[in-house]
Amino acid sequence: MTDSERLLQSRSFVELGARQRAQALLDPDTFRELLGPFDRLMSPWLPRQGIVPQADDGVVIAKGRLAGRNAVVAAIEGGFQGGSMGEVGGAKIAAALELAIEDNRNGIPTCAVLLLETGGVRLQEANLGLAAIAEIQAAIVQLRGHQPVIGLIAGSVGCFGGMSIAAGLCSHLLVTREARLGLNGPQVIEQEAGIDEYDAKDRPFIWSLTGGEQRHASGLADAYVSDDLTAVREQVLQLLQAPSAARASRPDWYLERLSSLGSDVAQLDGADVRALYQGDAR
Amino acid sequence: MNRALNWLPGLAGGESLPGYPASLRVVDAELDNRLARFIAVVPDADNPFPRARAGEVGLLEGWGLAKAVNEAVAADRHGEKRAIVAVIDVPSQAYGRREEALGIHQALAGAVEAYAQARLAGHPVIGLLVGKAMSGAFLAHGYQAQRLIALDDSGVLVHAMGKAAAARITLRSVEQLEALAAEIAPMAYDLDSYASLGLLWRRLSVQDAESPTPADIAQVRACLAEAVRDIGASTDLTSRLDGENRRASREVRARLRQQWQEA
């Protein structure tokens, strides 16, 4: 196949909405959505603030199969309220993972894939979003003891706030070039620390530190994939078979790396971070 | 002044263990006739990371918390599981370029992982809110506990974002935000509203939340002991789902369970 033929045949994953992404990932004809839009479980908090809620609260939960294995997919719709986690959407993800844990305990192996397009807590539901994220994190850690939990950040929203911590708990993390991963959004850092510290309008700078390619090159993501539907699915299936890097369980390694930066740490660029995290100790 | 520094000597006594970042206090002490590890994040004016000098949870703090908790779990692998008490006064996560570049999200994931694994391994984990418990800092230090206890004091604050930043991000004025927070319980900044969400196990009235009296210390220690007994053999967070303002969280779980079994 020539390059131009490949280009014509490739189908973008990033351009798909949450529901289509979940469908595209699961084995053909196995997608079954749970608590879909017709169940109309919506945010009880948004209408009181003059914001129109969405019938699925921006989260798609689907059971299905991945290369024949039982799987649950939780896909966040970045197009609704920036993919923010409110009470209902957060509870949908936490509950789906909790039910997968129960299935595993009952002898039904079930893995999970999280499609993370989220700015983190939905500020209109602040403390309930935060609580839900704590519960999602608890469930990821527990489910991972049974079966892989794969995080996928495709873009274009990226993954921030408490959900970036959730990404750091997954067995495997898959990113594209369109992905960004960071705790604090650029605007918030600029507001808190000033424009000299972090210029939220300087996109190349932000990408060079938090973009998918950089995160993969510095070992903070496990796989890097092009924006192609078939390639994304193949990479997810491969990761299901791979041993986890268990980054969150390696405080000693990271503390040793960070201590090598000295007692007054200077600003670093992307290359500095890659060099630091690709060292011998890894 | 960081309140955890004022509470820790009375609650735990003893020396802070060596081997951790200077912004961490890790003290092993007795609680209810068993061992307990008390952990706090405190300001360190000489923190190598300048954006984490005022008690924020940053890279060293996240990974340091992970180490402090993991070591307790490893030490108790074959014995009685010590209680782990997170003494919480954390103003925020660290906001900075170094932090994002070096993956602060992963450092905080390390802390969450450690607390969650301790809980799953059978350690009673308790979050004691003596001051601020903000956003990512709270997720990393305390929110994985089986029981949350808060001092009943206006200086105790749980939230996802400070008022000024939250107003800017949601395109509102601070006044508009405050007006909404007065009506929308999860958005509010006061402890009564937070308590209505059902996430707190107990609220404790003390004489001096800033600088505890001996009676305050005795009362809080008794409450911690009671929490350890109440946790018993439970290892999950289900006790948080009963709040009057968490109806939707319960409904989602009930209806998803029904559909899950049919799917």
Q: What is the ipTM of this complex?
A: 0.98
Give the model's pLDDT for residue B35: 97
Give the model's pLDDT for residue A261: 98
Interface test with B, best of A39, A127, A160, A252 (most B CBs within 10 A): A127
And the tokens for A222?
Answer: 């496990």
Inform me whether the pLDDT recorded for A209 exceeds 90.
Answer: yes
State pLDDT tens for residues B193-205: 999 999 999 999 9
> Distance between CA A142 and CA A100 in Å, rounded?
10
Instruction: Please state, for a pLDDT cut of 90, what percent of chain A lies above it.
Output: 94
Contact B48/A138, CB-based, under 8 Å? no
Inform me whether the pLDDT recorded for A8 exceeds 70.
Answer: no
State pLDDT tens for residues B210-258: 999 999 999 999 999 999 999 999 999 999 999 999 999 999 999 999 9
Give the model's pLDDT for residue B161: 86
Interface test with B, best of A136, A165, A244 (most B CBs within 10 A): A165
Q: Please report residues of A whose CB lies closer than 8 A to that of B168.
A: 187, 191
Inform me whether the pLDDT recorded for B263 exceeds 90.
Answer: no
Three-state SS annotation for chain A: CCHHHHHHHCCCCCCCCHHHHHHHHCCCCCCEEECCHHHCCCCCCCHHHCCCCCCCCCEEEEEEEECCEEEEEEEECCCCHHHCECHHHHHHHHHHHHHHHHHHHCCCCEEEEEECCECCECHHHHHHHHHHHHHHHHHHHHHHCCCCEEEEECCCCCECCHHHHHHCCCCEEEEECCCEECCCCHHHHHHHHCCCCCCCCCHHHHHHHHEHHHHHHCCCCCEEECCCHHHHHHHHHHHHHCCCCCHHHCHHHHHHHHHCCCCCCCCCCHHHHHHHHCCCCC
Mean pLDDT, rounded, of chain B: 96
Contact B186/A191, CB-based, under 8 Å? no
State pLDDT tens for residues B22-68: 999 999 999 999 999 999 999 999 999 999 999 999 999 999 999 99
Higher pLDDT, B71 or B181: B71
What is the mean predicted confidence (pLDDT) over A140-155?
98
Q: Dihedrals φ, ψ of B29, to 5°?
A: -150, 175
And the tokens for B253?
Answer: 């779980």
Give the model's pLDDT for residue B198: 97
Q: Please report residues of B whose CB lies closer than 8 A to that of A189.
A: 95-97, 100
Q: Please report residues of B whose CB lies closer than 8 A to that of A182.
A: 100, 104-105
Q: Nearest C-alpha of chain A: how many angstroms from B214? A: 33
What is the mean predicted confidence (pLDDT) over B161-178?
87
Inform me whether the pLDDT recorded for A4 exceeds 80.
Answer: no
Mean pLDDT, rounded, of chain A: 95
Residues A172/A222, Cβ–Cβ less than 8 Å: yes
Q: Nearest C-alpha of chain B: how many angstroms from A243? A: 18
Give the model's pLDDT for residue B162: 84
Q: Please report residues of B whose CB lies closer than 8 A to that of A87.
A: 186, 246, 248-249
Give the model's pLDDT for residue A6: 64
Contact A130/B143, CB-based, under 8 Å? yes
Contact B67/A265, CB-based, under 8 Å? no
User: How many whole angstroms from its chain centre is CA B56?
Assistant: 13
What's the Cα-to-Cα distance from B113 to each of A23, A247, B236, rounded to whole Å? 30, 10, 14
Contact A39/B120, CB-based, under 8 Å? no
What is the mean predicted confidence (pLDDT) over B169-197?
91
β-strands B157-159, B147-151: how paired? unpaired
Q: Please report residues of A whose CB lies closer than 8 A to that of B112.
A: 137, 141, 165, 169, 248
Inform me whether the pLDDT recorded for A2 exceeds 80.
Answer: no
Inform me whether the pLDDT recorded for A7 exceeds 80.
Answer: no
Strand order from edge to edge, sheet including A69-76: A32-34, A59-66, A69-76, A110-115, A149-153, A172-176, A223-225
Of B186, B194, B259, the CB nearest to A125: B186
> Distance between CA B173 and CA A205 in Å, rounded?
30
Q: Please report residues of B whose CB lies closer than 8 A to that of A131.
A: 143, 197, 199, 240, 246
Give A279's pLDDT tier (boundaries 50, 70, 90).
low
Q: What's the whole-model pTM score? A: 0.97
Contact B102/A92, CB-based, under 8 Å? no
Give A281's pLDDT tier (boundaries 50, 70, 90).
very low
Of A137, A191, A258, the CB nearest to B60: A258
Give A3's pLDDT tier (boundaries 50, 70, 90).
low
Give the model's pLDDT for residue A282: 42
Contact A134/B237, CB-based, under 8 Å? yes
Radius of gyration (Cα) for chain A, nearest Å?
Answer: 19
Q: Nearest C-alpha of chain A: how many angstroms from B157? A: 11
Q: Please report residues of A whose CB lies closer than 8 A to that of B249.
A: 87-88, 91, 128, 132
